[in-house]
Structure 1
Amino acid sequence: MPLGARAYDIVIAPDAIDSAGARLAAMFPGARYGIVTDDNVASAQLPRLAASLDAAGLAHSEILVPAGEASKSWGHLQTVVDAILAARLERSDILIALGGGVIGDLAGFAASIARRGMDFVQIPTSLLAQVDSSVGGKTGINSSHGKNLVGAFHQPRLVLADLAALETLPPRQFAAGYAELAKYGLIDDEDLFFWLEANYPEIQAGGPARGEAIARACAAKARVVAEDERETGNRALLNLGHTFGHALEKATGYSDRLLHGEGVAIGMVLAHRFSAKLGLAPSQDAGRVEAHLKNAGLPTTLADIPGDLPPTPVLMDAIGQDKKVSRGALTFILTRGIGRAFIEKNVDPQTVATFLEEIR
Structure 2
Amino acid sequence: MTSLKATCSNGINLETSKGCVAGFAFQSLKMGLKAFFTTYQEMKYSLHLFEKKHPDEKKDFNTPLSFFELSAETILHFHHFTELILKDLLRSEHVLLADEGSKKTVVLKKLLMGKPLNADEVSGIRSIEFSEALDRIVDLVNADEITDAATLEFINDSKDVLKKLNTLRNRIWHRGTFVLRYDALDEFVCQYFLPVLNRILSLGRYSGQESLWKYRDLECGFDPLSFLENESDSYSIGKFALAKELGRAAYCNPIRRDSGWTRIFNGEISGRAVTAANSEGHNVSKVTTCPVCGIRSLVVYDDVEVEGEDFETGTYERAWRYTWQVKCHCCSFEINNHLDNGSAYGISIPDYWQAEEM
TM-score range, shorter chain: under 0.3
| Structure number having the greater strand percentage | 1
TM-score, normalised by the number of residues in structure 2:
0.27
Specify the structure having the higher radius of gyration (Cα): 2
TM-score, normalised by the number of residues in structure 1:
0.27
